[in-house]
Amino acid sequence: MIRFLFRRILLGAFVMFCVTVIVYLIFYVGPGPGYVARALAGREAPPQTVALIAHRLLLDRPWYVQYWHFLLQLLHGDLGYDYYHGQSVNSIIAQAFPVTLSLTLGAAVIWLVIGVLSGVASAVKPRSLLDRSATFVALIFYSMPTFVLGLLMIELLYYQLTIHGLHWFPGAGYTPPSQSLFEWFRGLILPWLTLALVSAAAYTRLTRAAMLDVLGEDYIRTARAKGLSESRVVFRHALRAALTPVVTQFGIDVGTLLGGAVITENVFGLPGLGYTAVQAISDQDLPVIIGVVIVASAAVVVANLVVDLFYAVLDPRVRLH
């Protein structure tokens, strides 16, 4: 177990190293040092500021010296300085990441519960009315773009209720839980449902397919022959083995969303990483773009590491060596 964990951490570190190399080549080497200094300083910056930034970032030195300086900054947890807004990138990420984390974790719990339970129900009674209904609903949400569902949520559950005097949901914005836990929860219900309903559809189909394969295994027949209750056979034996592909997909989805749920955050006006990235791209704010890319990559790597560790817990047939 320790050896496996050590190997996975080394692999994750290597992946992050490759990401930093690619990011550096794209944003620093490709455009040229003159353009990079101008982009970092902002379009309105005077020539003296541009020259000072080029000197501080060693852009007048060989590329390998520049990259080593860039890598050392990242290893010390320094994502750089945003000259456009006059603050560190770390502070910008620190403000945006809790919003994205709240959105991702809340939606993940909802879509996992809905997707797994509906998938199990469909697999236990295949080709039944329940199975066909769950599959039909899953296909509807699976084919629906996130921004369409988000706008429908705002129209039906915010605008229509508000004009009838029912102020149940805010239309946009984010309230930190430190200010008001209730307002934080109320403001995230619609974004949670938007993300969860679209994502749960895939988990319904994935769980159903995995459960149908597992329910045909010999050990499931043996468990039933021994007189175990159907609920124990389904949830204790079959579901545990069928969750492996679900956990794999879950890790990918959560890791990706932690890098910024771009569409959902922009539809609901949530100042998370996705919203911040879009604003940075519009403003050509290069340091913030680089910081978001690094954080998003790290989120995917960590999520996949956690998924690998869960394999052995969920499926006794998997051993970590």
Task: Quote the Cα angle for 268-273-274, to 5°.
Answer: 55
Number of separate domains in the chain: 2
49 has a pLDDT exceeding 80: no
pLDDT tens for 68-104 read 888 888 888 888 888 777 788 899 999 999 999 999 9
Q: Is 294 a member of any domain?
A: yes
Tokens 């955050």 locate to 265
Residues 141 and 33 in one domain: no
- Tokens representing 320 are 């970590």
212 has a pLDDT exceeding 80: yes
Q: What percent of the chain has pLDDT over 90?
A: 11
Q: Which helix (H) or strand (E) holds 81?
A: strand 81-82
Tokens 């320790």 locate to 2
Q: Is 289 a member of any domain?
A: yes
CA pair distance 14, 117, nearest whole angstrom: 37
Q: Is 126 a member of any domain?
A: yes
SS3 call for 88: strand
What's the gap between Cα 106 and its chain centre?
12
pTM: 0.82
CA pair distance 65, 7, nearest whole angstrom: 29
Q: Is 320 a member of any domain?
A: no
Task: State residue 109's pLDDT score.
Answer: 92
Contact 251, 303 (CB under 8 A): yes
- Tokens representing 99 are 């919003």
Residues 34 and 124 in one domain: no
Residues 267 and 305 in one domain: yes
Q: What percent of the chain has pLDDT over 70?
A: 92
Nearest to 38 by CA among 28, 303, 21: 28
Residues 12 and 134 in one domain: no
Residues 74 and 110 in one domain: no
CA pair distance 290, 287, nearest whole angstrom: 5
Average pLDDT over residues 224-247: 82
At 229, is the pLDDT very low, low, confident or very high (cuts 50, 70, 90)?
A: confident
Q: Is 319 a member of any domain?
A: no
At 215, is the pLDDT very low, low, confident or very high (cuts 50, 70, 90)?
A: confident
CA pair distance 119, 125, nearest whole angstrom: 10
Residues 155 and 61 in one domain: no
SS3 call for 128: coil
Average pLDDT over residues 169-193: 85
pLDDT tens for 160-174 read 878 877 777 777 778
Question: Is the model more confident about 309 or about 249?
Answer: 249
pLDDT tens for 262-306 read 888 888 888 989 889 888 888 778 888 889 999 989 988 888 888
Q: Is 66 a member of any domain?
A: yes
Residues 146 and 247 in one domain: yes
Residues 146 and 182 in one domain: yes
- Tokens representing 29 are 């080497």
Residues 144 and 276 in one domain: yes
Here the CATH number for the domain that contains residue 173 is 1.10.3720.10
Q: Which residues, other chains included, contact 243 with Cβ-Cβ below 8 Å and sequence gap of 6+?
A: 116, 207, 210, 314, 315
Task: State residue 294's pLDDT score.
Answer: 92
Looking at every residue in the chain, the average pLDDT score rounds to 83
Q: Is 160 a member of any domain?
A: yes
Residues 96 and 226 in one domain: yes
What 8-state DSSP symbol labels residue 61?
S
At 32, is the pLDDT very low, low, confident or very high (cuts 50, 70, 90)?
A: low
pLDDT tens for 104-154 read 999 999 999 999 999 898 888 888 888 888 888 888 888 888 888 888 888
Residues 184 and 257 in one domain: yes
Domain hosting 250: range is: 90-314
18 has a pLDDT exceeding 90: yes
CA pair distance 123, 97, nearest whole angstrom: 38
Q: Is 288 a member of any domain?
A: yes
